[in-house]
Amino acid sequence: MSNSYGDKLIGQALNKEGVAVQTGHHCVQPILRRMSVETTVRPPLAFYNKTEGVDIFIKTLWELKKYDSKLKKLHHKILLKMRKPTVIRCRFSPFYMVK
């Protein structure tokens, strides 16, 4: 998953869908830091979980990823528009100035 979302936001999105997960460092900070990760989202899977819960978990993560991708594309479009050079015609010179 992209770095755009923190563990808390992912946990909240899953909670809204009725999926309980654990977020944070899970008392393994040295190992996570060795892998250059600060926090994670951990679904506590066990024999009593239903397949519907796992399906909702996966579906929600995919929706977050799609939404993140759309935001990145929109952000890229805005940046391109901002960087578009402006041509200014000068009255006294045949040359153009580009900002």
Q: Phi and psi dihedrals of 87, rounded to 5? A: -95, 130
27 catalytic residue (yes or no): yes
- Distance between first and last Cα of the chain: 38
Choosing from 27, 35, 46, 88, the catalytic residue is 27
Question: Using CA atoms, how far apart are residues 37 and 26, in angstroms rounded to an integer?
Answer: 12
Which two tokens mark 88? 């200014």
Point out the residues that are catalytic: 27
